A and B are shown apart, each in its own frame.
Chain A
Amino acid sequence: MSQSSPANSTAHIALLHPDERQRTMLSSALSRTCASFTSGAQWSDIAKYPLRLGGIWLIFDEGTATEQAIEQIRKASEQAFWGILVIGQGNATTQQKLRGLGIDAYLPYPFDFNVLSQQIQSIGDKRAPISNYQVLPPQVAGGLDRVWARFDSLTYYQLLELNIDCSLEDIQSRFHQRSLMLHPDRHRRIKQSHPPVYERVNLIYKRVLEAYRILSDPLQRPLYDSALSLGSTRWDYKLEAQKASILKSSNQQETQLALAQALNWRNRGLLKPAYELMLSICQREPNNPDLKASIHGYQKLLELACREPEIDAVIQQQLAP
């Protein structure tokens, strides 16, 4: 049986600490609790450390050097199961900034050793590749690790490996395929023996379900698509609010769907079809004041966009020698 938790006793830890005396002290304490250990004053000291092992970085916060180190680690390790734990005395703003760079946790200094190992454990459970546990068939584990590495940046389409213009049937059949592999019923027997693996499979499957729920809904899918072009990857409260406002503006299902589609086209810069669709919606419900109000917005946008080439032409004329 492989290890049930690669963290702690089987974790690979790299420690960055600028002060040599402190570093030695911590090293002797930490090295006993992990599989392999390396340390240095700065990133370049330990860049040779075999990155493919995967593991957790402990970084002692010292301002901009920390940010640089994080960036370098990110660049050097393509796989995201390199967990990063920063220890320091930074205030809330620093912590938030570092979280934005993708660190897993910030531990205030001075710290309790038990809390540190708890954190290492939890980062390991969250980040260590499923392949390391050797419990799932390699092809299944490898696929899961690839998804996990980019988990938070994957769009629903990427998660299901589908194109944005795929059909509802495609979505359903891909969802069924994924379910056969990922549904918790399939992994019941590893629930007790390998809880972190079970948890992670469950987490990925829940996201697959979320993707399916949104993409198979004729009203939610165009709204989601429109948010994609603005950089979102998940359904969120803003989209929920948009949906609520559409549901409020008409009680005709056909109109609701068309409104979502118009919004999608508008956000993706397809202003003309969006405006035309709005026109047809307004003709369908001529007495709906909400629709009348919103079509003005579409008209304005379209006019602005139409005027752009004219303005461009004027500018070009003026610039011409």
Chain B
Amino acid sequence: MSEEIVVGIDLGTTNSCVAVMIDSQVVVIPDEQGRRIQSSIVSFMEDGSLVIGNEAQRELVADPRNTIFSAKRFIGYPFDSKEARKLRAQLPYKVIKGEDQNSMIEIRGEAFALPEISALVLHRMKDLAEQYLGVEVNQAVITVPANFNDSQRQMTKLAGELAGLEVLRILNEPTAAALAYGYGKGLDAKLAIYDLGGGTFDMTVLQASGNVFEVKSTAGDTYLGGDDFDNRLTRVILIYLQNHYDFSIEKQPHLRGQIKHIAELVKKGLSVRDKFKLSQQIRLLEYPEPVELNLVMSRELFKKQCSDIIDRSFTICDEAFSRVPFDAKEIDDVILVGGSTRVPLVKSMVEDYFGKAPRTDIDPDEVVAVGAAIQGAMLGAPFSVEQLKHNPLLLDVTPVSIGIMTVQGICEVLIKKNTAVPCEESKVFTTTVDQQTVVKIQVFQGESRVANDNVKLGELELIGIRPAPRGEVKIEVIFEVDTDGLVSVKAKDLDTGLAHETRVKVSTGYSEENVSQMKERLDASGVGAVELTK
């Protein structure tokens, strides 16, 4: 069996990156202009064409209603959840309720599912790789935040499949970063990965022993990231504007996006200088001429506005360290991942927390894609004893607890958070009334004792049970988490030892019909009609 080409894709909230391993060297694939990082933005133009990536950035201001960014933040949150509601309020594009509580994005009267948007970004990455390599690319490892739950992982996998990629692994971003950092170094070290992205934060503690990378503990928050800095700065700028001019923000929805864009510039400016002088012209509906925005922002002000956001990340670090037999100060290397770790305040606060300066020799924007490419090469490698012995190996854990609803809505945990994968746990179910032929089991994912506070993964039905007095039929249900962190359920009749028929309804999933519609629409959009240049 020969080597297969497997690319690694970091599908980020704000930026994405694609890399591939060629002859034991990882190459980050540049776009036509030589840029190695692509914006995770998709803009739907008036003529029906699509602009994806860095070129779509200017559309954020020009056409905010039809330019989709940060779509990843919606993935896995039901439309009516408080997270999704909060997010909707901040975004200039229109989010509507789809089937099964899924959020959908309405663009020019057409509703798009979230995986479709991600698929477009992934397709762009696939095209870049194909142009660069001159061959077709059909297999990928795609990264997700460590604390993504089952449905978020499923949706990411679906996005990959829609983009025409066989997804060999859904890989946790911090784990990928650790692999990129430690690959080929023969380390024997405790690593901490501090991953502050645009929208999510993850802390992962990992043991590297030669070519084995074992995740010891992971914790995270899906609503903590660089966007929070931008929102704080946006607020500062808006308050400044409101103090100087009389206008209504409700009447001009594009304004928030525009100011957020400015806020981002301020944040980036403050990453290289102590003070940032802002001098911009802004159009307000209420004024015939553009108004002046002259403002000096300092790191001091940034610290005042944002240090509590960074402090929140350390509460999560504490949680991760509470599950390992050593503390933060015993870590050998701290690795920063995610664009938001470029912020000097983040760096210095991280240094205080660990009592040690974080590594600066790796690019936080590329490290995840590099790790994914290494993992991809490993999965694509031909089979041999040499391969078994010498290739790097990642040992990862379940990010979220899995349980079932029992009496009074209590969630009984079956597989605990931070259990090494693959793992399985079984439970015996029986009938509670005579002649019962169906048993229903509700499966949840989350840390709350109250089942309904957790994310419902789906409903499992044991059907066709042989009619008998109650309690006589015993069916063993096996819950399994595979190496992708995906959950599956099997049932076995304990009397016959044979597999029992089940029906699983995943509540946040898409029907086959839905998926084939998405596929058709993607094909029709003309994305991917790229000619190979080599």
**Partner-B contacts on A (CB < 8 A):** 104-105, 118-119, 122, 137, 139-140, 172-173, 176, 179-181, 183-190, 202, 205-206, 209-210, 212-213, 218
| A140 interface neighbour in B210, B388, B420, B497, Cβ under 8 Å | B388
| Given contact pairs A172-B207, A180-B388, a sample of 12 additional A-B residue pairs in the complex whose CB atoms are under 8 Å apart | A105-B496, A139-B385, A173-B209, A179-B212, A180-B393, A185-B378, A186-B393, A188-B379, A189-B383, A206-B423, A209-B420, A210-B423
In chain B between 466 and 519, which residues have their CB closer than 8 angstroms to a CB of chain A?
482-483, 496-498
Nearest to B421 among chain A residues (CB) is A209
In chain B between 92 and 117, which residues have their CB closer than 8 angstroms to a CB of chain A?
none
| Cα–Cα distance between A124 and B207 once the two chains are bound (Å) | 39
Contacts A105-B496, A173-B209, A186-B393 hold; do A206 and B483 have CB atoms under 8 A apart? no
Q: Tell me, rounded to whole Å, the shortest Cβ–Cβ distance linking A116 to chain B.
A: 12
| B395 at interface, CB cutoff 8 A | yes
Q: Which of B168, B378, B395, B423 is packed against the most chain A CB atoms within 10 Å?
A: B395
Chain A residues near B214 (CB-CB < 8 A): 172, 176
B498 and A118 contacting across the interface, CB-CB below 8 Å: yes
The 10 closest A-B pairs by CB, nearest first: A176-B212, A137-B385, A209-B420, A105-B497, A189-B383, A186-B388, A181-B388, A184-B483, A176-B209, A180-B393
A185 and B483 contacting across the interface, CB-CB below 8 Å: yes
Q: Tell me, rounded to whole Å, the shortest Cβ–Cβ distance linking B318 to chain A.
A: 16
Chain A residues near B393 (CB-CB < 8 A): 179-180, 183, 185-186
| A206 interface neighbour in B384, B395, B424, B496, Cβ under 8 Å | B424
| A205 interface neighbour in B389, B422, B498, Cβ under 8 Å | B422
Q: Tell me, rounded to whole Å, the shortest Cβ–Cβ distance linking B85 to chain A.
A: 38
B419 and A213 contacting across the interface, CB-CB below 8 Å: yes
A104 and B395 contacting across the interface, CB-CB below 8 Å: no
| Cα–Cα distance between A183 and B378 once the two chains are bound (Å) | 12
| Cα–Cα distance between A190 and B384 once the two chains are bound (Å) | 12
| Cα–Cα distance between A206 and B398 once the two chains are bound (Å) | 14
Contact with A along B230-243 (1 / 0, CB 8 A): 00000000000000
| B394 at interface, CB cutoff 8 A | yes
Nearest to B416 among chain A residues (CB) is A213
| Cα–Cα distance between A176 and B212 once the two chains are bound (Å) | 7
| B288 at interface, CB cutoff 8 A | no
Contact with A along B420-460 (1 / 0, CB 8 A): 10111000000000000000000000000000000000000
| B48 at interface, CB cutoff 8 A | no
Chain B residues near A213 (CB-CB < 8 A): 419-420
| B1 at interface, CB cutoff 8 A | yes
| Cα–Cα distance between A118 and B395 once the two chains are bound (Å) | 35
Q: Tell me, rounded to whole Å, the shortest Cβ–Cβ distance linking B244 to chain A.
A: 56
| Cα–Cα distance between A234 and B1 once the two chains are bound (Å) | 39
| Cα–Cα distance between A185 and B388 once the two chains are bound (Å) | 10
Chain A residues near B34 (CB-CB < 8 A): none
B385 and A186 contacting across the interface, CB-CB below 8 Å: no
A206 and B422 contacting across the interface, CB-CB below 8 Å: yes
Q: Tell me, rounded to whole Å, the shortest Cβ–Cβ distance linking A188 to chain B.
A: 6
Chain A residues near B419 (CB-CB < 8 A): 213
**What are 16 A-B contacts defined by CB distance under 8 Å?**
A105-B496, A105-B497, A122-B497, A172-B209, A176-B209, A179-B395, A185-B393, A185-B483, A186-B388, A186-B393, A189-B1, A189-B383, A202-B422, A206-B423, A213-B419, A213-B420
| Cα–Cα distance between A35 and B422 once the two chains are bound (Å) | 35
Chain B residues near A179 (CB-CB < 8 A): 212, 393, 395
Q: Which of B214, B383, B423, B482 is packed against the most chain A CB atoms within 10 Å?
A: B383
- Interface size of B by Cβ–Cβ distance < 8 Å? 31
Q: Tell me, rounded to whole Å, the shortest Cβ–Cβ distance linking B336 to chain A.
A: 26
| Cα–Cα distance between A172 and B207 once the two chains are bound (Å) | 10
| B143 at interface, CB cutoff 8 A | no
Chain A residues near B211 (CB-CB < 8 A): 180
Nearest to B211 among chain A residues (CB) is A180
Nearest to A176 among chain B residues (CB) is B212
Chain B residues near A212 (CB-CB < 8 A): 420
B387 and A122 contacting across the interface, CB-CB below 8 Å: no
Chain B residues near A190 (CB-CB < 8 A): 383
Chain A residues near B168 (CB-CB < 8 A): 188
Contacts A104-B497, A206-B423, A212-B420 hold; do A140 and B394 have CB atoms under 8 A apart? no
| Cα–Cα distance between A57 and B67 once the two chains are bound (Å) | 67
Q: Which of A119, A176, A181, A212 is packed against the most chain B CB atoms within 10 Å?
A: A176
Nearest to A216 among chain B residues (CB) is B325
| Cα–Cα distance between A253 and B419 once the two chains are bound (Å) | 21
Chain B residues near A139 (CB-CB < 8 A): 385
Q: Tell me, rounded to whole Å, the shortest Cβ–Cβ distance linking B528 to chain A.
A: 26
| Cα–Cα distance between A119 and B497 once the two chains are bound (Å) | 9
| Cα–Cα distance between A209 and B212 once the two chains are bound (Å) | 14
| Cα–Cα distance between A186 and B378 once the two chains are bound (Å) | 8
| Cα–Cα distance between A172 and B324 once the two chains are bound (Å) | 14
Nearest to B395 among chain A residues (CB) is A179
| Cα–Cα distance between A61 and B116 once the two chains are bound (Å) | 59
Q: Tell me, rounded to whole Å, the shortest Cβ–Cβ distance linking A118 to chain B.
A: 7
| Cα–Cα distance between A2 and B144 once the two chains are bound (Å) | 38
| Cα–Cα distance between A137 and B393 once the two chains are bound (Å) | 19
| Cα–Cα distance between A212 and B169 once the two chains are bound (Å) | 24
Chain B residues near A104 (CB-CB < 8 A): 497
Nearest to A210 among chain B residues (CB) is B423
Nearest to B210 among chain A residues (CB) is A176
| Cα–Cα distance between A181 and B169 once the two chains are bound (Å) | 19
| Cα–Cα distance between A206 and B209 once the two chains are bound (Å) | 21
| Cα–Cα distance between A209 and B419 once the two chains are bound (Å) | 9
Nearest to A177 among chain B residues (CB) is B212
A186 and B212 contacting across the interface, CB-CB below 8 Å: no
Nearest to B212 among chain A residues (CB) is A176
B395 and A186 contacting across the interface, CB-CB below 8 Å: no
Q: Tell me, rounded to whole Å, the shortest Cβ–Cβ distance linking A13 to chain B.
A: 18
Contacts A173-B209, A176-B214 hold; do A185 and B394 have CB atoms under 8 A apart? yes
Q: Which of A104, A181, A185 is packed against the most chain B CB atoms within 10 Å?
A: A185
Contact with A along B200-222 (1 / 0, CB 8 A): 00000001011110100000000
| Cα–Cα distance between A134 and B109 once the two chains are bound (Å) | 58
Contacts A185-B483, A188-B379 hold; do A140 and B385 have CB atoms under 8 A apart? yes
| Cα–Cα distance between A181 and B209 once the two chains are bound (Å) | 15
Chain A residues near B482 (CB-CB < 8 A): 184
A185 and B422 contacting across the interface, CB-CB below 8 Å: no
Chain B residues near A183 (CB-CB < 8 A): 393, 395, 483
| Cα–Cα distance between A193 and B15 once the two chains are bound (Å) | 38
Nearest to A92 among chain B residues (CB) is B495
| Cα–Cα distance between A260 and B119 once the two chains are bound (Å) | 52
Chain B residues near A184 (CB-CB < 8 A): 422, 482-483
Nearest to B216 among chain A residues (CB) is A216
Chain B residues near A173 (CB-CB < 8 A): 209
Nearest to A122 among chain B residues (CB) is B498
Chain B residues near A176 (CB-CB < 8 A): 209-210, 212, 214
Chain B residues near A189 (CB-CB < 8 A): 1, 383
| Cα–Cα distance between A173 and B207 once the two chains are bound (Å) | 11
